[in-house]
Amino acid sequence: MSISRIRIATRESALALWQAEFVRAELEKHHPQLKVELLPLTSRGDQLLDIPLAKVGGKGLFVKELEKAMLEGRADIAVHSMKDVPMEFPEGLHLPVICEREDPRDAFVSNHFADIDALPQGAVVGTSSLRRQCQLLARRPDLQVKFLRGNVNTRLAKLDAGEYDAIILATAGLLRLEMRERIRDFLAPEILLPAGGQGAVGIECRRDPELEALLRPLHHEHTSARLVAERALVRRLNGSCQVPIGGYAVLEGDQLWLRGLVGSPDGTRMIRAERRGPASEGEAMGIALAEELLANGADRILAAV
């Protein structure tokens, strides 16, 4: 039996819809006969916007409704921001495809200030990411980090309403939504180490060789090699999502350069490590780097929460 239609389960935010539409367009480009439909779903993570993500059950919330739709046969695939994808998948589902990565850096967004260093003493910066908070405060302990959740448009509206002097968002989301002009400064990994998977989109589906064959042309091996290392690092560290963790890999030829960071939310403690190795060994590198971080004190930071 051959597949003639693919239904994409997606969250309803503008960014999620963009990503699903992107996958739809790519699938139609590679398979002109294929019918591709979107199934927009409301996720718990999007409903509970006033509560810290770590408290409502973590990032998995964004994914569960979509997985349910696939397991119940209402959808065939789901498109995710790799940053939000849990490490384990339910029986029968997996994630065989990772698309080419967009700019992975974090972005400094402000209506009044050019970059972090231009912020006045005590300025209010919006983010609910402990990873961003930790690295901001390590650089500028005087800043006030203020809670900010919601989809990209909501966050920008709160900035424009004057609730913050600046906010930090993923560059990838802003570029996809055609809001490059909102970015005042692209934060280098040395300043703000990105989250594992940031800027990349992945496709989860049921285990079905025919379906996977249709998705295969969307897979980007270069991106995938980087994310294997980043995700192995995060997985090995992840006792809890309430700890600031950064993980970022680049490929230089066939060599991976992986950097990792674990810190305290207030930025007073920060442990960094990095290593280089063959791209084919990303998984082992991620685990080894995590163990180095743990041995250098990340274990105590993790134990404290």
Active site residues: 84
Q: How far is CA 78 from the centre of its chain?
A: 15
Shortest distance in whole angstroms from residue 278 CB to ligand PBG: 26
Cα(287)–Cα(301) distance, integer angstroms: 18
Query: Which residue lies nearer to ligand PBG by CB, 182 or 259?
Result: 182
**Site for ligand PBG, residues 82 to 101, rule: CB under 6 A:** 83-84
**Site for ligand PBG, residues 43 to 82, rule: CB under 6 A:** 81
Q: Which residues contact residue 169 at a Cβ distance below 8 angstroms, ignoring those fewer than 6 apart?
A: 106, 107, 109, 152, 155, 156
Cα(277)–Cα(280) distance, integer angstroms: 8
Cα(277)–Cα(75) distance, integer angstroms: 39
**N residues, the chain:** 305
Does 172 bind ligand PBG (CB under 6 A)? Our answer is yes
Query: Which residue lies nearer to ligand PBG by CB, 82 or 294?
Result: 82
Q: Which two tokens stand for residue 264?
A: 């305290």
Shortest distance in whole angstroms from residue 230 CB to ligand PBG: 12
Q: Which of 10, 198, 223, 264 binds ligand PBG (CB under 6 A)?
A: 198
**Site for ligand PBG, residues 150 to 169, rule: CB under 6 A:** 169
Cα(191)–Cα(117) distance, integer angstroms: 11
Does 196 bind ligand PBG (CB under 6 A)? Our answer is no
Shortest distance in whole angstroms from residue 103 CB to ligand PBG: 9
Does 224 bind ligand PBG (CB under 6 A)? Our answer is no
Closest CA to 166 of 221, 85, 97, 109: 109
**Around 33, how many Cα atoms within 13 Å sit in the side-chain half-sphere?**
4
Does 199 bind ligand PBG (CB under 6 A)? Our answer is yes
Cα(110)–Cα(91) distance, integer angstroms: 44
Closest CA to 124 of 159, 94, 72: 159
Q: Which of 86, 96, 126, 173 binds ligand PBG (CB under 6 A)?
A: 173
Shortest distance in whole angstroms from residue 53 CB to ligand PBG: 8
Does 259 bind ligand PBG (CB under 6 A)? Our answer is no
DSSP state, residue 182: G
Are 166 and 159 in contact by the 8 Å Cβ rule? The answer is yes
Query: Which residue lies nearer to ligand PBG by CB, 45 or 260?
Result: 45
Does 127 bind ligand PBG (CB under 6 A)? Our answer is no
Shortest distance in whole angstroms from residue 170 CB to ligand PBG: 4
Which residues bind to ligand PBG, rule: CB under 6 A? 81, 83-84, 169-170, 172-173, 198-199
